Amino acid sequence: MKKEFQETGSCVPKKHYMVDTTEQLNETIELIERGKYFIINRPRQFGKTTTLSLLEKSPKLADYIILRMSFEGIGDMCFQSEGAFIKMFVEKIKNELEYLGIKEEENVFLFDKESSFADLSKIITNFIKAMNKPVVLLIDEVDQSSNNNLFIRFLGVLRNKYLLMNEDRDFSFHSVILAGLHDVKNLKSKLRPNEEATYNSPWNIAISYDVDMTFSAKQIETMLVEYVSATNANMDIAYIAKKLYYHTSGYPYFVSKLCKIIDEKIKPKVWAEIDIIESIKILLEEENNPNFDKLIKILEESKELTKLVKKVSLGLESFSYNSKTPLINFGKMHGVFRPNEKNRVVIFNKIYDKVISEYFESKQEIEGTLDIVPSQYLTKAGKLDLKILLTKFKDAAKEKYSSSKKLKTKEFLEEDLRTQFFMYLKPILNGIGFSCKEVQTCEERRMDVVIFFRDEKFIVELKIWRGQQQHKAGLKQLKEYMDYENVEKGYMLIMNKNKTKEFKTTDENGIFIAWV
């Protein structure tokens, strides 16, 4: 069977090219062996189901009975009564035993529609006692039930049995793993039907699951090695893996998705960074992408999150990454935020950052607050002339700034003007080029924009004017970044808030600067 890159559902080793996640899997297996209860709460398409599948089949867990089930699509009838829930849960256990070829013991699963969770506790006790191995319970898609009070009470049963088991006073599952988007420990529940929802965690016995499920560049290499071996594709594996990580930050879905697009749609003779850029453009143009749709829905539903996302995306402010802060935790849960090496909040990856930027640009375009239209910006040879582009943007900004008192505010300089610059780029790059941001979380609040246009790469630094000393330091930093990205020419767009500012262009040590 010919393998392919998987973009939906769980990955299967014999069907799909897969990253070697042995390290993460071993960390999880160690938790199981130690009898831990925990939840794998990660953003969508982050490898949760694949992890459960690999755990189920792991030879290292051969001494355990692994029961794997999902609460997806079980319907509301299961939550009409305790008896209905028990019936659903027992049937899932029976199905797993049949799949594993384990004979069902008589008189273990005795219940009726009037059965209660006290009866379920006895059923679990009898079931565990009848097995000849410790039993591990894996439940996927718990988000389907996590807002249901009956489900929370079910977790309470497991919690009570866990505590009694540790005192050798009961029998229960050796380890329980839940998988979903939310951290069940933080769910709001009601102790009584008419009571206001409060934080009441029946899952405080669970430990934090701190395993890093993102793919490192080295791990991405393992998938590319397998692919090259099977197809004889031509690429510098280490370089392509590094660039895939650069654009995805190791988000599992995007790593596989970009590789799939390159393999099946672009089909280059030799894989290069330009193919990764092209695959991102194709991805962004997909009409119906559930991952992006969910991201936009979250922004539409939470104004507070949207404000924070905009500040982070445009580099307007820097925030410490504290997952105990509700808004940051909410963004983390949905894969919007991650911490950088300095433990500051950043947009998870450059793909999400691009989707977010286009979302804000589109909103301002619809609202009619953007009317700068680029003119001539190409050389006779069809190359992008960034000097012309920045000069014309400077001229357009001057005209607009001079004619509107509203645009003399701080918000214009640090928010609207940056958004306008990206909007200015959009029709120029559309269908040909691509841009991505490197937000620098320092007091200067500078931002490096990397522009890809055909086979060329450009670097533009956006920054606020904060005096000559910081300007010199900024030139030095840009030079270092240019060397890192292997480009000879650099560009700056400096936003000066002084009333006596000049709209001008200068050239300093090989760096072209537009002042607005």
Q: Residues 316-361: pLDDT tens digits?
A: 888 999 988 999 999 999 999 999 988 999 999 999 999 999 898 8
The pLDDT of residue 192 is 42
Tokens 């953007």 -> residue: 370
Q: What angle do CA 22, 25, 31 make, to 5 degrees?
A: 145
Pick the CATH number of 290-367 from 2.60.120, 1.10.260, 1.25.40, 1.10.10: 1.10.10
Contact between 364 and 419 under an 8 Å Cβ cutoff? The reply is yes
Chain CA centroid to CA 257, Å: 13
Nearest to 333 by CA among 146, 129, 64: 146
- Determine whether 118 is exposed, middle or buried from the number of CB atoms within 10 Å of its CB (0-12, 13-18, 19+): exposed
Measured in degrees and rounded to the nearest 5, phi and psi for residue 162 equal: -60, -45
Below-50 pLDDT ranges, the chain: 189-199, 370-373, 375, 407-412
Contact between 56 and 66 under an 8 Å Cβ cutoff? The reply is yes
The pLDDT of residue 199 is 46
- DSSP string spanning 385-397? -HHHHHHHHHHHH
Kindly tell me the number of DSSP H helices and DSSP E strands found in the chain: 17, 16
Domain boundaries, the chain: 22-199, 217-286, 290-367, 369-516
Structural tokens at position 348 = 């998870």
Structural tokens at position 301 = 């539903």
Mention every residue, 6+ apart, whose C-beta is less than 8 A from residue 195.
none
Q: What is the pTM of this model?
A: 0.86
Note the maximum CA span of the chain: 89
Residue 69, SS3? strand
The pLDDT of residue 426 is 81
| Residues 62, 58: Cα–Cα separation, whole Å | 7
The pLDDT of residue 107 is 78
Mention every residue, 6+ apart, whose C-beta is less than 8 A from residue 474.
444, 446, 461, 463, 492
456-464 and 16-17 beta bridge pairing: unpaired
The answer as to CATH 3.40.50 being correct for domain 22-199 is: yes
